[in-house]
Amino acid sequence: MQRTEINCVTGEVVVIDMSAEEVAALPILPPEDPKALIREQIKQLEQAQLMPRATREFMLLYVETNNLTAMPGYAPLKAFDNQIVALRNQL
């Protein structure tokens, strides 16, 4: 195995062979969770809208149960919820 070192002053690139001990000392990183990006995206959307899942679902349940879907704020709330649902379906 080799490592590459770059001198930031001169820009010189040097490729160095690593010993077995150096290779053995390298940390073993866990594999990336492909769903972590989706979870982070959901978290950021909810924070940006100040609308966590429990609040959003309660509001939708109340509005839909009481037939208040003609209210001006319902359509954007429902669209936002549909966006989150689509992301959750990818998990």
Cβ 88 vs Cβ 39: under 8 Å: no
Q: Which amino acid is at 53?
A: R
Predicted confidence at residue 43, as pLDDT, reads 94
Cβ 4 vs Cβ 14: under 8 Å: yes
User: How large a percentage of the chain has pLDDT more than 70?
Assistant: 100
Predicted confidence at residue 33, as pLDDT, reads 87
Per domain, the residue ranges of the chain are 36-88
How big, in percent rounded to 5, are the helix, strand and coil portions of the chain?
55, 10, 35
Quote the pTM value.
0.62
Cβ 49 vs Cβ 59: under 8 Å: no
Say yes or no to pLDDT of 1 above 90: no
pLDDT tens digits along 51-84? 899 999 999 999 999 999 999 999 999 999 999 9
Whole-angstrom Cα distance, residue 64 to residue 83?
Answer: 18
pLDDT tens digits along 5-18? 888 888 889 898 98
